[in-house]
Amino acid sequence: MNLLTAALNYLWLHAYKYRSVERQHRLLVEQLRQAHRPLNVVFMALDLSLWHYQSLYELMVADPRFNPIIVLSPCVSRVSRENPDQDAESLRSYFRQKNIPFVDYEHGKPAFDIRRQLKPDLMFYTQPYEYLLQDEHDCRHFYDRLICYMPYGFWSSTGKLSYNLHFHNMAWRLYYSTSLHLQEARRVATNHGRNVRVTGYANADEYLRPDHVSPWKVIADGRQRKRLIWAPHFSIIPANSALPPRGSFIWMAELMLKLAREYSDRLQIAFKPHPALLTQLYQHPDWGKERADDYYGQWRSMENTQIETGQFIDLFMTSDAMVHDSGSFAVEYHYSQKPVMFVSRDMKPVLSTLSDFGKKAYDLHYIGHNEAEIRHFIERQVLDGDDPIRPQREQFYRDYLLPPNGKSVAQNMMDDLVGSLCPSDILPKPLKKGVLVLLFLLSLLSPPSAEAAPLPSEEPEVAVSSEKTGEEAFSFRQLILPSALITVGSFGVSNGWLCSIKEDVRNDFQNWRDDSRFKGDDYLRFLPAVANVGLGLAGVKSRHSLQDRLAATATASIVTWLTVGVTKHAVKEKRPDSNERISFPSGHTAIAFMGAEMVREEYGNVCGAGAYAFATGIAFLRLYNDRHWLNDVIAGAGFGILSARIGYWLLPWERRLLGWDNSSAALSVLPTYQQETRSMGLALTAHF
């Protein structure tokens, strides 16, 4: 029975629930975009060492569209029973020092009612685990809000724990460090990482500051020493951790104290334990509270040692080397570009969990299996400065550790939030709707009607007259298709149901293409327009002369450029793949369909069908390359078709303006060949 229940629950989550929550998110986003009020953003602060949202919080404080609130809620599953307020007190000191208001936590009293008193729209968590906080603050009770998460560490492992917990599939936004992490999410997560955005690593902004302050102890003798960090992980009891058991602390504990004493005149060592290590030591059968407290006390009391349990960025950036067995530090310490050793007596369990990104990071480590190798690292790499893999670490830093888009991590996140949740400031929403309605009304207008078109000439085009040979007379029926396309595309900018459809289409394309792109659409979009001019030169019967085709194509191109350009900058729809607000409508699609409609007009329905199929392929590529939403290409097709028809409607007026109505006017195109230079060309002669 339990097995059947588990199977049904699995099918319900994977086949329905995760897709359903994405649809709920899209509806909630649409509601918030129409709310016209500051959005309430709650940041859950668990532990000072896990607080990575400071820069984002400061950006939100300065932006009237957001109302950020910090709520202290220490981690109940790891806090020591002997001192349950330790995490909260470190956070209080940090926020008070910066004069930042926060909702406090009081042990033993009822939890603050976030939902009723703060009415959150967005919730930022620092860890992706359920049952981690007191029940009233746990993420399980806020999946109906827009939950956001930025990993507290630089993930180097793969698998469910890193990418496919229930939280990962239920959150609205996951802000990941690199494109390699996005690839892992698409491969591992049930929702294929559709909620992932690449913004850079959480702490990158802090690491890249130029003004790091040294937290290292000043030793009385004034002698300069090398600064080494030892950062052991907490996973020393296999039953208490979902990670592969490392246990390096157990055999390294006395060794590191011994090394600190031996090298006291040449080395300073900072003991940087994982926040959960002390609690694990209290529970360890060979340690217990008394021994663990005494051990921590020795690191505080020795002249050349210290213990660091809070923020560690300044510690890292002012150090000379590190020894550790922590998964997140395996990448994070590379910001310092200093030598680093990973310690494990058996690397196979560690390496078996690594992602491709993690393998790149671990390859830049020196590996310590025993005391001799640790001593060798201290002697050669730390004290003597012999560091043969430094060039590879510097290349890794340039390739993966710098935030994308040339912006800070916080700004990348802020751009995504503003683009997703806040209407454009360029046009108020009523005016934006007015622009869309105006576009529809303009599509119903037309220039003066032209004379009825005679049948096309039966002679192939080599030298053709410029007489009227087939310009289309205006008909309201010609407006039905482009008007319908523009209207549907326009409603897709803000209509909730159509927005849901275009999000689904984009997600399906993302799952299908992974990270592949095809950039040929930047050039292929012009091919139908070129075919409109060139097919006649190749001998295909056309309805208009070459000069008429050139004039109509030029006019249609100008109309396309003007209408699409003005609409892009008026509507300001955000592109799906960036924060540019020039998505609606698709200019590439408009150019392609403009040319396709002109080919149909000139050469008939057979050639036109081929041109329309080609233009549809361009629209498909704009979706495939994640450059446009579905409604963008629908409207782009409408703008292109309408522009082509305007090009022909204006042709009689252009003829009169340029004097092409003169019966003596003619245009001749003849091939030429120069025997002396062995060159070929075309001679074009015009008579007016």
679: burial class by Cβ within 10 Å (0-12, 13-18, 19+)? exposed
Q: Is-contact 350 344, C-beta < 8 A? A: yes
The pLDDT tens digits for 181-231 are 988 998 899 988 989 999 999 889 889 988 999 999 999 998 999 999 999
One-letter amino acid at 403 equals: P
Q: Is-contact 411 199, C-beta < 8 A? A: no
640's enclosing H/E stretch is helix 630-649
What interhelical angle do 605-624 and 527-537 show, nearest 10?
A: 160
**Average pLDDT along the chain:** 83
> For residue 60, is pLDDT > 50?
yes
Could you give the CA distance from residue 440 to residue 522 in angstroms, rounded to a whole number?
28
Closest CA to 366 of 344, 397, 399, 336: 344
- Number of alpha helices (DSSP H) and beta strands (DSSP E) in the chain: 29, 15
One-letter amino acid at 549 equals: R
When pLDDT is averaged across residues 550-567 and rounded to a whole number, the result is 92
CATH architecture of 423-663: Up-down Bundle (1.20)
Closest CA to 549 of 599, 591, 590: 599
Structure tokens that stand for 658 in this block: 């340029």
Question: For residue 661, what are the CA distances in angstroms to 340, 654, 664, 666, 688?
Answer: 82, 10, 9, 10, 9
**pLDDT (0 to 100) of residue 23:** 87
One-letter amino acid at 653 equals: W
When pLDDT is averaged across residues 326-335 and rounded to a whole number, the result is 90
Of 83-97, 409-423, 441-455, 490-504, minimum mean pLDDT range: 441-455
**pLDDT (0 to 100) of residue 168:** 95
**Residue the block writes with tokens 């802090």:** 206
CATH superfamily of domain region 226-401: Glycogen Phosphorylase B; (3.40.50.2000)
453: burial class by Cβ within 10 Å (0-12, 13-18, 19+)? middle
Could you give the CA distance from residue 616 to residue 654 in angstroms, rounded to a whole number?
30
668's enclosing H/E stretch is strand 666-674
SS3 state of residue 686 = strand
Q: Is-contact 595 557, C-beta < 8 A? A: no
Number of Cβ within 10 Å of residue 156's Cβ equals 25
Instruction: Report helix, strand and coil shares of the chain as percent, to nearest 5.
Output: 50, 10, 40
Q: Is-contact 541 607, C-beta < 8 A? A: no
575 or 453: which leads in pLDDT: 575
Q: Give CATH 3.40.50.2000 domain extents, the chain.
A: 226-401
The pLDDT tens digits for 125-176 are 999 999 888 889 999 999 999 999 999 888 888 888 889 999 999 999 999 9
Could you give the CA distance from residue 534 to residue 203 in angstroms, rounded to a whole number?
57
Closest CA to 549 of 526, 523, 529: 529
CATH 3.40.50 correct for 2-207: yes
One-letter amino acid at 159 equals: G
Number of Cβ within 10 Å of residue 496's Cβ equals 14
* Cα torsion 534, 538, 539, 540: sign: negative
Could you give the CA distance from residue 253 to residue 255 in angstroms, rounded to a whole number?
6
**Count of residues making up the chain:** 688
**pLDDT (0 to 100) of residue 9:** 66
The pLDDT tens digits for 378-415 are 999 999 999 999 999 999 999 899 998 888 999 999 98
Confidence of residue 14 (pLDDT cuts 50, 70, 90): low
122's enclosing H/E stretch is strand 122-125
Q: Is-contact 159 349, C-beta < 8 A? A: no
Q: Give CATH 1.20.144 domain extents, the chain.
A: 423-663
